[in-house]
């Protein structure tokens, strides 16, 4: 049996792992966005044509976005994924194709071809020799277990072992001889705050601004974190820890919220119970609003408001409109809730920029800038606990992390688990097991 790391090896982006045993199975097929350009998995046409299955862990672009290109390049099989992943992929990839770019990896027609060939899988219901398990990362996200040639290979993809507002944590204690695990926060220095502390920091920052009759902008990814933020706000508004304030939902967050609601069976029991047995469906909170006028003037008729909007790193989306409008207002605040990578406006704000360049316009920043660190990935300690929970483990491959994180996590695990072989593979490397 051979395992090839065709992407996301000592990097984050273009996840793609090829298993070649009795069957040829591709696990994930994403893209990596680099500045204005894109990088793709190192897949050759002959490999694509000989694939038996392509299994997609979840809808984020770094795991799913290149899948339609498989069909464009001669793949004749199915795209296997959970139903929520199918729904979210449809939304995200259509949006990806709408963004103006010189070239995309494929066309609308190829996306249609892929959607026609989706084979929906449920958690813990084996099909062929593949079983999916909840990975706790976003709605419908899955770990993939492949049984082939006497091996049990478990691929975590993006992993969150912690319970969140909407989702249960990842399934622990599975049986596998080979584990392929992510390491986004694999460094020992990566220690998340407790959920309680994270929620408290968000509420503190929001409340301070509302008390001063300011507007709060929360830029976030549309899928996963956007819903966590909304549910956290709703919870604190309902329990009156925050004064009654309208929450405006912008961009793709409102569309993906609908998909979350449609797939409520994938949410944790507490949320399901609220939807089914009480009158306060958290998805239909009276605090939620959609701007009703094209120029969004209705938002500013309020004394104060909270705006939850894309994009998370301020690269584009409605957040730019709000920054232009509120950037100069010292009473207002932007709260960054996710990682801000180098070269983004979000990072500039964190580094204290007093001016932002938006659509060729210099926008003065007087508004406050704060941070509340939400995460949909496990930290170092949680990743280690997950590995230790696996039964019958012989080897671990570390991927989906910056090179330094992959290497540090591999070294650390190797030290702690002497009986297990730990490797951080290089991009394009094939390893026989
Ligand atoms: Zn993800
Ligand atoms: Zn990822």
For 48-82, the pLDDT digits (tens) are 999 999 999 999 999 999 999 999 999 999 999 99
State ipTM: 1.00
Cα-to-centroid distance, 196 and ligand 1 (Å): 23
Ligand nearest to the CA of 8: 2
Ordered strands of the 333-336 beta sheet: 288-289, 247-249, 305-309, 215-219, 333-336, 368-371
In the chain, ranges of CATH 3.40.50.10890 domains:
195-371
Nearest to residue 106, comparing CAs of 145, 143, 65? 65
For the chain, state the CA radius of gyration.
Answer: 22
Of 15-24, 68-77, 174-183, 339-348, the range with the lowest mean pLDDT is 339-348
The pLDDT value recorded for residue 207 is: 98
Cα-to-centroid distance, 11 and ligand 2 (Å): 10
Cα-to-centroid distance, 340 and ligand 2 (Å): 15
For the domain spanning 2-189+377-432, the CATH number is 3.60.15.10
The pLDDT value recorded for residue 278 is: 83
For the domain spanning 195-371, the CATH number is 3.40.50.10890
The number of angstroms, rounded, from the C-alpha of 299 to the middle of its chain's C-alpha atoms is 28
Is 402 in contact with 8 (CB distance < 8 Å)? no
Cα-to-centroid distance, 29 and ligand 1 (Å): 12
Of 150-159, 170-179, 183-192, 312-321, the range with the lowest mean pLDDT is 312-321
Q: pLDDT band at residue 360, thresholds of 50, 70 and 90? A: very high
First to last CA, the chain: 6
Is 172 in contact with 134 (CB distance < 8 Å)? no
Cα-to-centroid distance, 81 and ligand 2 (Å): 16
Q: Where are the alpha helices (DSSP H) in 213-344?
A: 225-238, 252-262, 269-277, 319-326
φ and ψ of 390, to 5 deg: -75, 130
- Non-local (6+) Cβ contacts of 19 within 8 A are 1, 2, 3, 25, 26, 27, 146, 148, 153
| Cα separation, 86 vs 329, whole angstroms | 41
Ligand nearest to the CA of 400: 2
In the chain, ranges of CATH 3.60.15.10 domains:
2-189+377-432
Q: How many percent of the chain have pLDDT more than 70?
A: 100
Ligand nearest to the CA of 30: 2
Q: pLDDT band at residue 308, thresholds of 50, 70 and 90? A: very high
Cα-to-centroid distance, 62 and ligand 1 (Å): 7
The pLDDT value recorded for residue 339 is: 82
Is 233 in contact with 306 (CB distance < 8 Å)? yes
The pLDDT value recorded for residue 350 is: 95
| CB neighbour class for 111 (10 Å; exposed up to 12, middle 13-18, buried from 19) | buried
Cα-to-centroid distance, 13 and ligand 1 (Å): 10
The pLDDT value recorded for residue 251 is: 86
pLDDT tens-digit series, residues 367-388: 999 999 999 999 999 999 999 9
Nearest to residue 88, comparing CAs of 54, 57, 121, 59? 59
């Amino acid at each position: 049996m051979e395992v090839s790391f065709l992407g996301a090896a000592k990097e984050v982006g273009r996840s793609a792992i090829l298993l070649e045993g009795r069957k040829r199975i591709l696990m994930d097929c994403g893209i990596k966005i680099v500045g204005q350009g894109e990088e793709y998995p190192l897949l050759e046409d002959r490999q694509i044509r000989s694939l038996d299955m392509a299994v997609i862990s979840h809808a984020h672009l770094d795991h799913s976005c290149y899948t339609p290109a498989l069909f464009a390049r001669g793949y004749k099989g199915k795209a296997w994924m959970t139903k929520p992943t199918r729904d979210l992929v449809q939304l995200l990839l259509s949006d990806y194709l709408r963004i103006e770019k010189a070239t995309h990896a494929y066309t609308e027609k190829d996306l249609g071809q892929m959607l026609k060939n989706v084979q929906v899988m449920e958690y813990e219901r084996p099909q062929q020799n593949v079983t999916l398990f909840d990975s706790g990362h976003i709605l419908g996200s899955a770990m993939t277990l492949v049984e082939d040639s006497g091996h049990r290979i478990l691929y975590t993809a993006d992993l969150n072992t912690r319970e969140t507002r909407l989702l249960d944590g990842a399934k622990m204690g599975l049986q596998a001889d080979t584990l392929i695990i992510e390491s986004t926060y694999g460094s020992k220095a990566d220690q998340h705050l407790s959920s309680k502390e994270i929620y408290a920091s968000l509420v503190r920052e929001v409340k301070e601004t509302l008390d001063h009759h300011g507007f709060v902008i929360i830029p976030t990814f549309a899928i996963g974190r956007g819903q966590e933020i909304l549910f956290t706000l709703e919870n604190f508004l309902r329990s009156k820890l925050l004064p009654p304030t309208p929450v405006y939902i912008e961009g793709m967050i409102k569309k993906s919220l609908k998909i979350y609601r449609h797939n409520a069976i994938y949410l944790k029991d507490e949320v399901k119970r609220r939807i089914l047995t009480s009158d306060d469906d958290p998805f239909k909170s009276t605090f939620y609003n959609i701007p009703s006028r094209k120029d969004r003037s209705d938002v500013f008729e309020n004394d104060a408001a909270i705006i939850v909007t894309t994009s998370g790193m301020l690269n584009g989306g409605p957040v730019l409109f709000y920054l232009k409008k509120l950037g100069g207002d010292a009473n207002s605040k932007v709260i960054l809730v996710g990682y801000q990578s180098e070269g983004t406006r979000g990072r500039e704000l964190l580094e204290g920029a007093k001016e932002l360049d938006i659509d060729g316009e210099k926008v003065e920043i007087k508004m406050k800038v704060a941070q509340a660190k939400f995460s949909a990935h496990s930290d170092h300690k949680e990743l280690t606990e997950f590995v230790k929970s696996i039964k019958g483990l012989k080897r671990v491959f570390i991927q989906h992390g910056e090179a330094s994180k992959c290497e540090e996590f591999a070294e650390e695990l190797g030290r702690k688990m002497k009986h297990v072989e730990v490797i951080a593979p290089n991009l394009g490397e094939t390893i026989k097991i």
